[in-house]
Chain A
Amino acid sequence: GNSVTQMEGPVTLSEEAFLTINCTYTATGYPSLFWYVQYPGEGLQLLLKATKADDKGSNKGFEATYRKETTSFHLEKGSVQVSDSAVYFCALRSGNTGKLIFGQGTTLQVKP
Chain B
Amino acid sequence: EAGVAQSPRYKIIEKRQSVAFWCNPISGHATLYWYQQILGQGPKLLIQFQNNGVVDDSQLPKDRFSAERLKGVDSTLKIQPAKLEDSAVYLCASSRATSAGGRDEQFFGPGTRLTVL
A residues bordering B, Cβ < 8 Å? Answer: 4, 32, 36, 41-46, 51, 89, 91, 93, 95-105
Grouping DSSP codes into helix (H, G, I), strand (E, B) and loop, the B interface class, with mixed when no group exceeds half, is loop
21 contacts between A and B (CB under 8 A): A32-B103, A42-B110, A43-B108, A43-B109, A43-B110, A43-B111, A44-B91, A44-B93, A45-B108, A51-B103, A96-B100, A97-B55, A97-B56, A98-B33, A98-B106, A99-B56, A102-B42, A102-B43, A103-B42, A104-B42, A105-B40
Contact A43-B91, Cβ < 8 Å, known A4-B42, A99-B45, A104-B41? yes
- Interface size class of chain B, counting residues whose CB lies under 8 Å from the partner chain: 20 to 34
Contact for B101 among A42, A51, A97, A102, CB less than 8 A: A97
How close is B71's CB to chain A, nearest CB, in angstroms? 21
Query: With A and B bound together, what is the CA distance between A105 and B95 in angstroms?
Result: 22
How close is B42's CB to chain A, nearest CB, in angstroms? 3
Across the interface, which residues of A come within 8 angstroms of B106, CB to CB?
46, 98, 100
Contact with A along B100-117 (1 / 0, CB 8 A): 111111101111000000
Contact A98-B42, Cβ < 8 Å, known A32-B103, A42-B110, A44-B108? no
Contact for B48 among A32, A42, A89, A97, CB less than 8 A: A97
Across the interface, which residues of B come within 8 angstroms of A95, CB to CB?
101
Across the interface, which residues of A come within 8 angstroms of B43, CB to CB?
44, 89, 100, 102
How close is A22's CB to chain B, nearest CB, in angstroms? 15
Query: With A and B bound together, what is the CA distance between A96 and B100 in angstroms?
Result: 7
Across the interface, which residues of A come within 8 angstroms of B101, CB to CB?
95-98
